[in-house]
Structure 1
Amino acid sequence: MDFALSAEQQEYRDGARAIAVTRLLPEYRGRERAGRIEPELRRELGALGLIAPEIPEALGGRGMDRVTSGAVTEEIGRGDINVAYLQVVGSLVAQILAGNATPDLAREWVPRICSGEEIVGIGLTEPHAGSDAGMPRLTAKRDGDDWVLDGVKSLSFGRDAAAVVVFARTGPSEARGKDISAFLVPLDLPGVTREPFSDMGTTAVGRGAAHFDGVRVPAGHLLGEAGSGFTQVMQGFDFSRALIGLQCVGCAQQTVDETWEHVSTRQAFDRPLSTNQGVAFPLAEAETLLTAARLLCYHTLWLKDAGLPHTSQAAMSKWWAPKTAYDVITQCLLLHGQYGYRTELPVQQRLRDVLGLQIGDGTAQIMKLVIARQRLGRELAP
């Protein structure tokens, strides 16, 4: 296995880091206050190929590999973890549409995602169920040339998304994960209403709910075959879970870098804080943990690019990297003392933002269940 990035991959990573430092980091707190990501920033990222770069060029992407997509996500996460989620969702949804939408529908929507022109959210979970995504109450019934949707879905970018990929029950089976279909639903259709959520973090992502009351969706907006939606999204999440891990690693690494600087310049008892083992050693541990989490995530993406099984590794990335990032940022906040607790510094905001990613897109308990089932099979796993 080659651990070095190619010249082209390095160019993408450097471009992402440059915009993270110059555009994202200075306004990280401002985006939380505004509760949104500026549309012009979205389009700027798209123009640089920093949203879903792994999508084929024919659909508006750059035709890069998944490792490059991960490098982009990590670097953007250094500047603003919430903006990095724009890339994560963009890659996930664009991949679902590119692989499962009709050619005309894919050509209509995927380039708009890659360019940053539009956000297309993902509506898998529902407010009543959370992690139990295999038992949706959202229903879709065929009526002539349309499907009629009734129910509610949780989604990120609930205010700004132009459309959402939803998963609805389309058949009589009540079995978990069965008779579920995926649809692309524009959110300006009659019968759609939006409900904002009030979260303690990731406010720039603008999570919320979309309510569907007799919403008529053209039959051509069905993604793949009827009844196969649950399988489609689970395959996509194997990829995005590694991206989320790198999103959190980038955020935590930026915090560690800032903390090294702080303890090197902050004086106590007539010497820099960094000269104390109790200060320097926790940061050394943080560097080690983040390096290990980073390698796990990139290994997962490398397996994806190689066409090899990676479900277990993706689940490991999703539960361990956000937890590690949260633990590391907590330690950095403590090493900043009272300054870290104040809202003038971004450390407390990063702590709240990373915490949300220990919940969303699959909790640690669900990820560990995935790993156990991969080793034992469903019959012997919890």
Structure 2
Amino acid sequence: MTAPFQQTEEQQAYREAARRFAREKLAPSYLKRARTHDIDRALVKEMGALGLVGCDLPEQYGGMGESSVTAGVIIEEIAYADFNISYVQLLASLMGGMVAKHASPDIAKEWVPRVAAGEAIIGLGLTEPRGGSDAANLQLRAERSGNGWRLNGEKTSMSFSTQADAAVVFARTGDPAGASRGVSAFFVDLSDKGITRTAFDDIGTKPVARGSAFFDDVYVPAECMMSEQDRAFSTIMVGFDFSRALIGLECLAAAQASVDETWEYVKGREAFGAPIVQYQGVSFPLAEAETQLTMMRQLCYHTLALRDRGERHTAEAAMCKWYVPKTACEILHQCLILHGHYGYTTDLPHHQRYNDVLGLQIGDGTAQIQKLVIAREKAGRVALQYDKKA
């Protein structure tokens, strides 16, 4: 993969370290790990020791204080070799950054260094069974109890549901009619009493163990509230512009891996007395894929660069989130087809990458929601049909 921007020497060093680790330690066993429901914590710790987890987290909390672009460089290289492992980088940057910025200093000092070291995973408890895209329509309630709160309800579609050590849980603390107003966020140790968890049997990203967490009168100390009471939703959700660009890089990296492998295959495969790469029906789809991948990579890194400069990047992040997973799936489908009947077996990785990437056409914001975000950014709130006050 060629860098789509002028890399610093430090970024090049990160890319080389991530690529070496990914190709040597991750790629050979990607398919084997993809069939399990557990993430390999030893590999995660090894990545942490190399500085490949949450490199953008603050130095005061054990991170490297690197840029968003550098975090993107690492996640692209990891996802090229193992899409599922790259979720560790994604959550480390998103959730570690969220805790560093919005949790109490004591919580941040205890947990963020563990995330950066690959010793802990912090999950996101946002989605609920009754509504995914309507994210602020929360039913899980937090009610005052002494010097703290008690949580009751369910979170679903949570990455690392059975493996995360802690989670940032969004709960209703105010008037249900207030939509995003009246939502607070809590840092919750998932070993606390009253929490049970289950994992789904998804068609892809099995090691990520997407699932549900149930909170039955779970006590949370007052100091575990993050950000401002009743106003956490809009304050904290800004961080998702970062993760959406990283998701784009995850997805295009998986597609790039299959495209690279397919070029090699069609150069060696012969039909009618010639390598099939000579036939435009074979080479043109791959040429189109390379064009799309190059453009998408530019978009993702441009979005991260805007973030590093402190410039608004919400629309660009939404573009990354809706367009890249969709196009990456189309590319992966084409790579599978170009391998013929052998591509339809489980011996090759194309089907697995396709199933893994497919989930991100749904999770973390559907294409439809992202297009609404773009419309809002360009035309204002009048573009939102659900905004009755527009």
Shorter-chain TM-score tier: over 0.9
Q: Determine if the alignment matches structure 1 residue 194 to structure 2 residue 227.
A: no
2:215 counterpart SS class:
strand
2:300 corresponding residue in structure 1:
297
The equivalent residue for 1:337 is: 340
- 2:31 counterpart of 1:26: no
2-structure distance, mates of 1:16, 1:357: 23
2:372–2:383 Cα contact (<8 Å) kept: no
- TM-score, normalising length: structure 2: 0.96
1-structure distance, mates of 2:97, 2:61: 10
SS class of match (2:177): coil
User: 8 Å contact 1:333–1:347 — kept in the other structure?
Assistant: yes
In the alignment, what sits opposite 1:8? 10
Q: Is 1:145–1:219's contact at 8 Å kept on the other side of the alignment?
A: yes
CA distance in 2 between partners of 1:127 and 1:253 (Å) = 34
Aligned length: 381
C-alpha contact 1:242 1:314 (8 A) present in aligned 2 = yes
Alpha carbons 1:135, 1:177 under 8 Å: kept: yes
1:165 aligns with 2:168: yes
DSSP-derived class of the 2:220 partner:
strand
| Aligned with residue 113 of structure 1, among 109, 115, 126 | 115
Partner of 2:272: 269
1:222-233 to 2 correspondences below 5 Å? 222-233=225-236
Task: Determine the C-alpha separation between the residues in 1 that align with 2:186 and 2:237.
Answer: 15
Shift of 1:313: 0.2
Q: Which residue number corresponds to residue 388 of structure 2?
A: none
- Specify the alignment match of 1:379 in structure 2: 382
2-structure distance, mates of 1:234, 1:320: 20
Q: Secondary structure at the match of 1:95?
A: helix
Counterpart mapping for 1:28-67 below 5 A = 28-67=30-69
Cα deviation for residue 76 of structure 1 reads 0.5
CA shift, 1:134, in A, is 0.7
SS of the residue aligned with 1:379?
A: helix
Choose from 349, 357, 360 the match for 1:354: 357
Q: Distance in 2 between matches of 1:132 and 1:206?
A: 23
Matched residue, 1:123: 125
Residues in 1 aligned to 2:279 and 2:233: alpha-carbon distance in whole angstroms? 52
* 1:231-290, Cα deviation, whole Å (9 max, x unpaired): 133211000000000000111111100000000111111211111111111101000000
| Letter aligned with residue 326 of structure 1 | C
Given that 1:96 and 1:232 are in contact with CA atoms closer than 8 Å, whether structure 2 keeps it comes out as no
User: What is the distance in 1 between the residues matched to 2:346 and 2:365?
Assistant: 29
Question: What's the secondary structure of 2:347's corresponding residue?
Answer: coil
**1:99 is paired with a residue of what secondary structure?**
helix
Deviations 1:150-170 (A, max 9, x none): 001121001111111110011
Aligned match of 2:212 in 204, 209, 213?
209
- SS of the residue aligned with 1:121? strand
- 1:240-251 mapped onto 2 (5 Å cutoff): 240-251=243-254
Check conservation: 1:170, 1:179, Cα contact below 8 A. Answer: yes
Cα distance per residue 1:33-64 (max 9 Å; x no partner): 22221110010111111111011111111111
Q: Please report how far the alpha carbon of residue 380 of structure 1 lies from its aligned counterpart in structure 2 after TM superposition.
A: 3.3
Equivalent-residue separation in structure 1 for 2:31 and 2:162 (angstroms): 19
Number of the residue aligned with 2:81:
79
2:274 & 2:39 partners in 1: Cα distance?
A: 42
Divergent runs of 4+, >6 A: none
CA distance in 2, matches of 1:323, 1:380: 24
Partner of 1:218: 221
TM-score of the superposition, structure 1-length normalised?
A: 0.98
Counterpart of 2:321 (choices 301, 318, 322) is 318
Unaligned runs of 5+ in 1: none
Is 2:182 the partner of 1:179? yes
Q: Does 1:308 align with 2:320?
A: no
In the alignment, what sits opposite 1:147?
149
Per mean C-alpha deviation after superposition, the further-off stretch among 173-182 and 364-373 is 173-182
Query: What is the one-letter code of the residue matched to 1:376?
Result: A
Greater mean deviation of Cα atoms: 279-288 or 24-33: 24-33
1:284 is matched with which residue? 287
**Partner letter of residue 145 of structure 1?**
N
Q: Are 1:96 and 2:82 matched, yes or no?
A: no
State the Cα distance separating 1:173 from its structure 2 match.
4.4
Amino acid across the alignment from 1:83: I
